[in-house]
Amino acid sequence: MTANGWLQFVVFSLLILITARPLGIYLEGVIEGKIGWINRLFGKPEQLIYKLCGVQAHEEMGWKEYAGALLGFSAVTLLATYFIERLQAILPFNPQHLTSVSPWLAWNTSASFTTNTNWQSYTPEMTMSYLTQMAGLATHNFLSAAVGIVAAIALVRGIKRTDCKTIGNFWVDITRVLLYVLLPGSVIYALVLVATGVPQNLHGYVQAHTLEQPGIVQTIAEGPVASQEAIKMLGTNGGGFFNANSAHPYENPTPFSNFLEILSIFLIPAALTCTLGSMTHSPGHGWAVFAAMFVLFAAGFAAVYAAESQYNPMLRGVAQTGSATAPAGNMEGKEVRNGIAASALFATATTDASCGAVNSMHDSYTPLGGMVLLTNILLGEVVFGGVGAGLYGMLIFVILAVFIAGLMVGRTPEYLGKKIEAFDVKMAMLYVLIFPLAILTLAAIYVILPKIGLSSLNNPGPHGLSEILYAFTSAVGNNGSAFAGLNANTPAYNIALGWAMLIGRFLMLVPVLAIAGNLAQKKRLPVSAGTFPVNTPTFTVLLIGVVLILGALTFFPVLSLGPILEHLQLHAGHLF
Amino acid sequence: MHSIWKTSLRYTIFSFLLFGLVYPLALTGVAERLFPHKADGSLIVRNGEVIGSKLLAQGFTSDRYFHPRPSAAGNGYDAAESGASNLAQSNAILVHREQADVDKLRKENPGVPVPEDLVTASASGLDPDITPDAAYFQALRVAKARGWSVDVVRALIAEHTVGRTFGLLGEPRVNVLELNLVLDSRDPHKAVSVIP
C-alpha cells in the first residue's frame, strides 16, 4: 500500500461527503416538484408527456397501485428489450451484421437490464448491435435507475406522511427523476467522457494494420460508447459496452475518467441519505445512515487494498518489493494506468453499490480480496447501494435495528414517530430472508450438478465454488459484476440467473412498498424519553451491527468453504 | 388495471425513443463536432492507413520494439473481443504461465527482478501501457537490437513517461505504441516507411 493510494481514497471520500447534501436536497426538490425554475421552464413539456402517455398526474396512488404500475411498466420494458434483441439482425444500426440474439440469452439479458443488474453472459462487441446497445440496453439503464430511486422515495414518503393512504404517483416520480436528474447528468457526463477519450460514433469496426507487421490486421470495435457509459455509472447499472467493461481503455481511458466513474457510482446513492434526512425533517438521521454506510465502505476498501497489495506467494523472481513507479501488488486482471489502489477503490465501490461495472477482473483477485468483494454484495447491497435500492435496503435494516433496540428495552419500537408493528417487521423479515434463500438454494443446486453447473467453471478447487456463489449472489443482489471466468452463457445458467435477478429485484421491492403504504397511514407519536434516537453514533453502531451480523451469520459457512479455504491452501503452497 | 398496461405501453414507446435513440444519436452528433479525433477512437493514421489506436495495445514480438503486457483478449490483443484470463491466484495454469514468462524475461536481463506487470495479463487484454519499470527493463534489449546506446533508449522512456494525473490519480505509465512509433521515427532505416 502507498500513501498516494490512501490519498486517492481520502479525496474520493471527501468529494462524496461534500456532494451528498446539495444533490440530496436537489433530488427531493425535483421529485416533490418544489423547484420553481424547473416548474416554469419544463412544466409544459412534462405535462405533454403525461398527456401523451395517458398519465393522470394529479392522482396519488396507494402502495398496491404504485407497485402495480412499477411491475407492469417493468414487464413491458422487459418484453420490448427481448424483442429488440431477437430481431436485431433485421433492425438498423447494425454495421457488423450481427445475428439476432438467441432466446435464452435474450431472456437473461432483458431480465438483467430491467432489474438494474446488468449481468452479462455474453461478449457485447461480438453479440449486440448498436441499436440493441442504445435502445435495448442503455434505455433500461435510465429506466431501472429511475425505478429504484422512486421506490426509495416512496418508502421515505411512507415514513414522512401521517394518516395518509397514498405514497405518490409512480409515473410522475419516474418522469421527474428521468428528466431532471438522469438525462441532464448523463449528457454532461458523456461529453466529459468523450473529452477523456471515450469513443462516440456509429461507424463499423475499424481495420488497423499494425506497426510491427502491417500484414496483421487488428479489428477495433467501436460504437456509441460514451452515451451508454455515462448512464451505466450514474445509474449504478454497470453493463459494459465491451466485454472488459470499465477496464477497456475505450470505456475508461485515463486515471481521471476512472476517478469520475468511481465517483459517479456513489454520487446518487450517497445523496439519497440526505434526501431521507431532509424529507423526514431529521437531517441527523440521514447522516447517521450515511455514517454507517461509510464505515462499511472504508473497512471494505482497506481490506481489499491490503489484500491486493500482496503478490501471489507462489510466484518467484518477480519484482517483489514494488517501487515508486510500480506499486507492489497483484496485477493479473488489472490495468497499469489504474494500478492497485484505484482498482481496489473501484472494485469496493462497485460491489458496495450494486453497480457491477469493473475496472479490474474480480476472478483474479487474491482469495481474500475477492472474498471482501463477494461479502460486500452479500451484506445486501446497502453500503450506499444501488440508486434507490441501497437506501430502501438500508431502511429495512434500520427497521430491524429499531425493532431489536425496542426488544432490548421492552417497549414498542418506534421509528421517527411511527410505531413499528407486526406487519412492518414481517415484511422486513421477508425482504431479509428472500435474499439468502435465493442465493444459497440456487448456488447449492448448481454446485451439485456436474453437467450444467460445474462444466462452466474456469477455475478448479475452492475457487470454483466461489465462482458459482458469486454468480448467484451478483444476480440476486442485482449487482452484475462477476467472477467472469464462469461461462454463464448456457441455457441452464441463463434461465436460473434470469429468475434470480427478477426475484432479487421485484420480490424484494413489493415488501418495501407494502411497508411504505403501511407506515403512511399511521399516526405520528410524540417524542418521549423512551424513544430510541436514530440520529446518534449509538444508532450508527447498532445499524452496522445488524447488517454485519445478518450477513456474517448467514454466509460465513459458505465463505469458509470457498475463499477462506483457498487462501489457506494457497499460502500452504497448494495449487489447483 | 387496464390503464396500467395502456400507460406502460405508451411510456415504454416514449422512453425508448427518447433515451434509446434521441439521446445517443444527438450526443454522437455533438461529440463528433467537439472532439472528432476522440469520438472516433483516438486512431493513429500513417500514410492514409490506420495503424491502431493510441488507447489500445497491439502485439509486438520483435526485439526492436517494446512489448506490451500479456493479453487474454481473443487470441491476443483482439480489439473486437476484449477480456482477461480470469484465472484464480490458486490456479496452477496461471502460476505456471507467469513463471514461464518470468524465466524467459530473466534470461533477457539477468540479475534484474522482473516487473510484475510484464508477466500478468491485463484486465482488458488491451492495456496500452506498461509501468516505467517495465519499460526500463526492456531498454537493453531494444538498444541492442537497434544498435543504439542504452542511454538513448532510457532517455526516450523518461521523455514519454506519463505521471499521475494531478500528481494523485492512477499510476505512472508509458504508452507502448507511442513509444515504439518514436523509436521508428528516430531510426534512419525505418523512418522512411513510417513517417508520412
Give B59-89 pLDDT, tens digit per residue: 999 999 999 999 999 999 999 999 999 999 9
Distance set, CA A340 to CA A485, A529, B175 (Å): 21, 50, 18
CB proximity A574 to B under 8 Å: yes
Q: Are A5 and A340 in contact (CB under 8 A)?
A: yes
Report helix, strand or coil for A282: coil
Triad A562, A564, A567: Cα angle to 5°: 105
pLDDT-based confidence at residue B193 (cuts at 50, 70, 90): very low
Q: What is the Cα–Cα distance from B163 to B131, expressed in whole angstroms?
A: 10
Which residues of chain A are within 8 Å of residue B50 when distances are taken between CB atoms? 206-209, 220
CB proximity B62 to A under 8 Å: yes
- Look up residue A563 and give its DSSP letter: I
Q: What is the Cα–Cα distance from A183 to B24, expressed in whole angstroms?
A: 11
Q: What is the Cα–Cα distance from A174 to A219, expressed in whole angstroms?
A: 40
Q: What is the pLDDT of residue A163?
A: 95
C-alpha distance from A532 to closest chain B C-alpha (Å)? 41
Any idea where the domains of chain B sit in the sequence?
Answer: 1-40, 41-194
Q: Are A220 and B79 in contact (CB under 8 A)?
A: yes
B16:A135 CB<8 A: yes
Residues 6 or more apart whose Cβ sits within 8 Å of residue B33: none
- Closest partner residue to B98 (CB to CB) among A209, A315, A365 is A315
Question: Which residue, among A531, A263, A547, A500, has the nearest Cα to A395 in the 3D structure?
Answer: A547
CB proximity B109 to A under 8 Å: no
CB proximity B151 to A under 8 Å: no
- Closest partner residue to B14 (CB to CB) among A52, A138, A312 is A52
Q: Are A224 and B20 in contact (CB under 8 A)?
A: no
CB proximity B146 to A under 8 Å: no
Q: What is the pLDDT of residue B47?
A: 87
Which residues of chain B are within 8 Å of residue A457 when distances are taken between CB atoms? none
CB proximity A568 to B under 8 Å: no
Q: What is the Cα–Cα distance from B172 to B170, expressed in whole angstroms?
A: 7
C-alpha cell at A344: 481496489
Q: What is the Cα–Cα distance from A428 to A397, expressed in whole angstroms?
A: 8
CB proximity A95 to B under 8 Å: no
- Residue to mutate among B3, B11, B45, B118, with most A CBs inside 10 A, is B11
Which residues of chain A are within 8 Å of residue B1 when distances are taken between CB atoms? 68
Q: What is the Cα–Cα distance from A135 to A91, expressed in whole angstroms?
A: 11
pLDDT-based confidence at residue B196 (cuts at 50, 70, 90): very low
CA terminus-to-terminus distance, chain A: 28
The one-letter code for the residue type at A73 is: F
Q: What is the pLDDT of residue B2?
A: 64
Q: Which ranges in A324-388 belong to alpha helices (H)?
A: 339-352, 367-378
CB proximity A47 to B under 8 Å: no
Q: Are A338 and A360 in contact (CB under 8 A)?
A: yes
Q: What is the pLDDT of residues B2-39, one digit of tens each?
A: 689 999 999 999 999 999 999 999 999 999 999 999 99
- Look up residue B63 and give its DSSP letter: T
- Residue to mutate among B17, B86, B103, B195, with most A CBs inside 10 A, is B86
pLDDT-based confidence at residue B1 (cuts at 50, 70, 90): low
B91:A224 CB<8 A: no
Q: Examine the pLDDT at B191 and tell me if it is beyond 60.
A: no
- Look up residue A364 and give its DSSP letter: G
CB proximity A318 to B under 8 Å: yes
Q: Count the alpha carbons within 13 Å of A122 in the hemisphere toward its beta carbon.
A: 24
pLDDT-based confidence at residue B190 (cuts at 50, 70, 90): low
Q: Count the alpha carbons within 13 Å of A313 in the hemisphere toward its beta carbon.
A: 14
- The torsion angle over the Cα atoms of residues A304, A388, A34 and A66, rounded to 10 degrees, is 180
B residues 26-45 near A, CB within 8 Å?
27-28, 30-32, 34-35, 38-43
Residues 6 or more apart whose Cβ sits within 8 Å of residue A370: A362, A363, A466, A470, A483, A563
The one-letter code for the residue type at A130 is: Y
pLDDT per residue of chain A (576 residues) written in tens, 0 to 9: 899 999 999 999 999 999 999 999 999 999 999 999 999 999 999 999 999 999 999 999 999 999 999 999 999 999 999 999 999 999 999 999 999 999 999 999 999 999 999 999 999 999 999 999 999 999 999 999 999 999 999 999 999 999 999 999 999 999 999 999 999 999 999 999 999 999 999 999 999 999 999 999 999 999 999 999 999 999 999 999 999 999 999 999 999 999 999 999 999 999 999 999 999 999 999 999 999 999 999 999 999 999 999 988 888 777 767 788 888 899 999 999 999 999 999 999 999 999 999 999 999 999 999 999 999 999 999 999 999 999 999 999 999 999 999 998 888 899 999 999 999 999 999 999 999 999 999 999 999 999 999 999 999 999 999 999 999 999 999 999 999 999 999 999 999 999 999 999 999 999 999 999 999 999 999 888 778 899 999 999 999 999 999 888 899 999 999 999 999 999 999 999
- Residue to mutate among A331, A467, A469, A489, with most B CBs inside 10 A, is A331
